[in-house]
Amino acid sequence: MEDVKMFNTTVKTKFFGLLGSPLGQSAAPFMHNSVYQKLGVDALYVPLELTMDQLEPVVANLENFHYAGSGVTMPFKTQVHKYLDGLADSARFTEVVNTIVFEDGKKIGHNTDGTGFVLSLQKQLGLVIPDHNYLILGAGGAGTAIACALAMEGAKDIKSLCIAKDYFCAETLFERVDRHFPFVCTIGEMTEKSIAAALEKYDVIIHATKVGMYPNVDEILFDPELLQPRHIVADVVYVPVETKLLREAAARGCRTLSGLWMNTYQAAEQMRLWLGIEPPLEYMYNHSLEYLRAQGKA
């Protein structure tokens, strides 16, 4: 695997942060910095592991510490909008933010998760978004952003299922989507029965929970015997790159999409927003895959 060399910063270096906790499993710093090095961009992506109490003061002082923008990951995606000056359309409908862009002295929240996921469906699987219906398992920040992005691209039937303890928060998030895209999204409680019933109706299955994420790689959310060859199964989890869900789906004749492609497309969109560059997508995916393999997490 090609090494990412030690970076020597200058007074002109553009710093970008990643706000979240924990950050030990994130491949984002490696992905961003390897692209900056390959393209000769004077920029550095820095993980900033925070507590919730630290979020507001850190966001307020990003520019003072010469940051030119920041990524945002769990558990702050649904909270950070409160400390920003405005939201782009990609985040305004849901108030879920994974990217902070500085525009004319203001901090503007964007969401590239949903955009990246839709692009990965379109580019990697050739899906025409309005031609399918969608079942999203999990209604947190990622699931809601994906639902909104699908609706913005013309999806007409999106069903989200979430566990009982998250239902109130999920309902609030999906109400925001429904205000802008009425009658497109519905939400329900996730049970064995509701999953089985939904799998009979929907053809694109999107797993948007942490189930199956490293180190719990043998976990799976539902009985894979419920899958049929007509299903298209996508996972937002990218550590491991091929989750147990994706392996079981492929074994049953389903087309599958790894979360690493979503992560690649959303990171590329961040680079476009921050730096105006056109990132090398295949390089990003393959280099990240090599990195995860070297870590024993692919």
User: Annotated catalytic sites, by residue?
Assistant: 77
* 177-191 burial: b if 16+ Cβ within 10 Å, else e: bbeebeebbebbebe
Residue 266 in marked binding region: yes
Residue 40 in marked binding region: no
Residue 42 in marked binding region: no
Q: How many CB atoms lie within 10 A of CB 266?
A: 24
Residue 20 in marked binding region: no
Backbone φ and ψ of 231, nearest 5° = -75, 145
Residue 142 in marked binding region: yes
Distances (CA, A) of 192 to 161, 163, 197, 222, 229: 11, 11, 9, 7, 20
Residue 17 in marked binding region: no
Residue type, 198: A
Residue 89 in marked binding region: yes
Backbone φ and ψ of 125, nearest 5° = -115, -10
Termini Cα distance of the chain: 14
Residue 73 in marked binding region: yes
Q: Which two tokens stand for residue 67?
A: 């940051």
Residue 113 in marked binding region: yes
Q: Which two tokens stand for residue 239?
A: 């550590």
Residue 202 in marked binding region: no
| Distance in angstroms (rounded) separating the CA atoms of residues 204 and 134 | 5
Residue 151 in marked binding region: no
Residue 68 in marked binding region: no
- From the annotation, which residues make up the binding site for shikimate? 73, 98, 113, 238, 266
- From the annotation, which residues make up the binding site for NADP(+)? 89, 138-142, 236, 259
- From the annotation, which residues make up the binding site? 73, 89, 98, 113, 138-142, 236, 238, 259, 266
